[in-house]
Amino acid sequence: MIYAYPGEFVTDDDGTLVVTFPDVPEAVTGGQDRTEALRLAADALAVALAGYVHDRRDIPEPSSTAEDQELVAVPAVAAAKLALYSAMRAQRISKSELARRLGSSASAVERLTDPDRQSSISQVQEALDAVGRNLTIEVIT
């Protein structure tokens, strides 16, 4: 799955560019200009989707981008962690089972699967490999 969601950019009465996401209604942010709004929108998506992980909810599939929307990507490491979470959930793989597959400790896997903890992309990629998923990064314009 590509972790990029259509965002709706609307200027409010005070000139702030407000960004909302139909697929992830918890993600709402804004900025003084398009550059700031896009940066904050990616962060808002990551935080909102981390909430889905903490609540043990399914990650929503992105809908198609309408003409009046702009695609906003989740930051790369956060997207990789979401993919790991989704794969583990779909296959009913526990954290202890992932630790066994990686030859790692339970505490290391706990850090790796926590969306609020820092991990390297290579660590998450190794975990994705262990659950039968391939990480592909695509640059979109």
Q: Supply the pLDDT for residue 102.
A: 97
Same domain, 87 and 43: no
Q: Supply the pLDDT for residue 71.
A: 94
Same domain, 51 and 94: no
Q: Report the number of distinct structural domains present in the chain.
A: 2
Domain coverage including residue 95: 76-130
Q: Supply the pLDDT for residue 140.
A: 72
Q: What is the mean pLDDT of each run of 10 residues along the chain (141 residues)?
A: 95 95 98 95 97 97 95 95 97 97 94 93 96 90 70
Q: Supply the pLDDT for residue 139.
A: 82
Same domain, 66 and 80: no
Q: Supply the pLDDT for residue 138.
A: 84
In-domain check, residue 34: yes
In-domain check, residue 139: no
Q: Supply the pLDDT for residue 68.
A: 92
Q: Supply the pLDDT for residue 59.
A: 98
Which residue shows structure tokens 């339970």? 106
Q: Supply the pLDDT for residue 96.
A: 96
Asked whether the beta carbons of 50 and 117 are under 8 A apart, the reply is: no
Q: What is the CATH number of the domain that holds 60?
A: 3.30.160.250
Same domain, 82 and 66: no
Same domain, 114 and 61: no
